Structure 1
Amino acid sequence: MRLFLQRKSQLASDALAKGARVLENVAPEESIQLYIDACDALEEDGKEQMAFDLYRVATSVYIKLEKSQLASDALAKGARVLENVAPEEAIQLYIDACDALEEDGKEQMAFDLYRVATSVYIKLEKYADVEAFLNRDQNHDANRLLSAYTEGDVEEIKRATQSSIISNLDHMIIKLARKLPTGDVSAFKMDAKDQQELLDKDDLT
């Protein structure tokens, strides 16, 4: 019986996705909803990873409609669903969400997504000794760059990005950090309390 229900869920998702493709050009908003429904059907059946491509397709329709915020929201939703079952795919969706905002000139809105993506990356590494990771030069430079953004310190951002470790490290945190804007970052400046929470080494989220 369970196998039958799983098969039925898969068929429902396939049918919804097929209908969504048909509607993409004639009724894009309805198409997006069908894609999301198809994702929901897969998630309810425990097949979250199969929803990866559908979230990206739904987002492409949002982009055509020039609705970058909704596109980013859809990608972030998919990323959250995939965090535990497919963390690498989740990170990619977070990166795509940042890209959607940046292409629309909304770099500052990508900041929170950057933080979430880095936390997923850290979890993905599965460090046996978190303290050892926190003491690494890579983490020090990554935090230095992130701190510069929270303080709105343009000069420190420039110095941090010129670090040899930042320049040469093939590291997801650095790849994400490079996506942050390097111009007017005053909007990132936080009060002392928020900054302390952000840099709390015991809180990797």
Structure 2
Amino acid sequence: MAASDPEKLMIKGDKLTQLSLTRWSADWKSATLLYEQAGRLAKNYEKAKAAFEKASKGQEMLSSPWDAAKHLESAAALAKELGSWSEVADFYRRASELYNECGRSQPASDALARVLLRITSKNLIVIHHGESVTIPVLEDNAPDEAIRLYTDACDILEEDGKEQMAFDLYRAATSVYVKLEKYADAATFLLRWGLAADKCNATHSQCKVYLSAIIVYLFANDLKQAEKCYNDCCQIEAFLSSDQNRCASKLLSAYSDGDVEEIKRVAQSSTIKNLDHMVCLENWV
């Protein structure tokens, strides 16, 4: 009976990790197996979460950061079901750190990003590395925390020279900034994306995000900063000869002249409509 009772398994596991007059060293191997079993059997989300967190600690003590990270992701999924968003973020961040210990930058970044994808429904089921994964919604519940996690995930991939894998993260972070009406931050992140695109020779993406950054400044009614951004981007040869450059030039001229009809016309161009991240221009006119 005890073998199928999560609470008794947890108690037994705890005893194996506590030192006493008769136990001079903790038996983390046996305790971890008990915690893992308790996590799988527990029907109560809170108890299952606690079990997987302890199982993660056990795997750390056994020098197995990969398995420890996996258990933290399980704990994060349960914290999401409980609506404990601060724990969700904390578990995924700790999982990311453990994946990094294994020298695995992509899973480390994924652990941060997995909690962040913004969706309209409560959950999204995706196939991730061959597994069915539930992605909880953090952007709508804790947008500032989402920004921090996106930034951390980008940092991990950039440090490992894998900027191409961070494109979805740049896009998503920009979206959150725009939603929060932090337009200067959104433009800054777009320019960071442009630099990353330059490093991996993604010229078309680079030009598109530069145009997006200019649009964000115009959307914020900051013509001066938009023009400065445009002039800076024109120092990049690829942008100077691009369709995005010509579109930006027309848009800046129309905005400077207060030509509403021209703004509308340019806003409807395929160059703007095909941007990965486009700010709605309706409020301009």
Distance of 1:171 and 1:193 partners within structure 2: 21
2:157 aligned partner, one-letter code: L
Do residues 124 (structure 1) and 180 (structure 2) align?
yes
1:66 aligned partner, one-letter code: G
Whether contact under 8 Å (2:52, 2:74) holds in the other structure is: yes
Whether contact under 8 Å (1:55, 1:75) holds in the other structure is: yes
> 1:192 deviation in Å?
5.7
> 1:54 deviation in Å?
0.9
1:100 aligned partner, one-letter code: I
Whether contact under 8 Å (1:68, 1:100) holds in the other structure is: yes
The Cα offsets for residues 35-90 of structure 1, whole Å up to 9 and x where unpaired, read as 01100111111223321111111000111111111111111012233111111111
Distance of 1:78 and 1:27 partners within structure 2: 23
Aligned Cα root-mean-square deviation (Å):
3.0
> 1:181 deviation in Å?
3.1
- The count of corresponding residues between Structure 1 and Structure 2 is 154
Give matches, 1:1-205, under 5 Å: 8-24=44-60, 25-80=62-117, 81-125=137-181, 171=185, 173-174=187-188, 177-178=191-192, 180-181=195-196, 183-190=198-205, 195-196=274-275, 198-199=277-278, 201=280
- 5+ residue gaps, structure 2: 1-43, 118-136, 206-269
Distance of 1:42 and 1:61 partners within structure 2: 19
Higher relative contact order (CA 8 A, sep 6+): 1
> 1:115 deviation in Å?
1.2
Give the TM-score normalised by the residue count of structure 2. 0.47
> 1:200 deviation in Å?
6.0
Of residues 43-52 and 182-191 in structure 1, the stretch that sits farther from structure 2 once superposed is 182-191
2:202 aligned partner, one-letter code: A
Whether contact under 8 Å (1:49, 1:85) holds in the other structure is: no
Identity over aligned residues, as a percent? 41
1:87 aligned partner, one-letter code: P
Distance of 1:187 and 1:175 partners within structure 2: 17
> 1:27 deviation in Å?
2.0
Structure 1 residues 195 and 186 mapped into 2: Cα distance closer, same or farther (>3 Å)? farther
Structure 1 residues 188 and 58 mapped into 2: Cα distance closer, same or farther (>3 Å)? farther
Distance of 1:112 and 1:194 partners within structure 2: 18
Of residues 85-94 and 105-114 in structure 1, the stretch that sits farther from structure 2 once superposed is 105-114
Per the alignment, residue 145 of structure 1 pairs with: none
Higher relative helix content: 1
Whether contact under 8 Å (1:62, 1:71) holds in the other structure is: yes
> 1:16 deviation in Å?
1.3
- 5+ residue gaps, structure 1: 1-7, 127-168
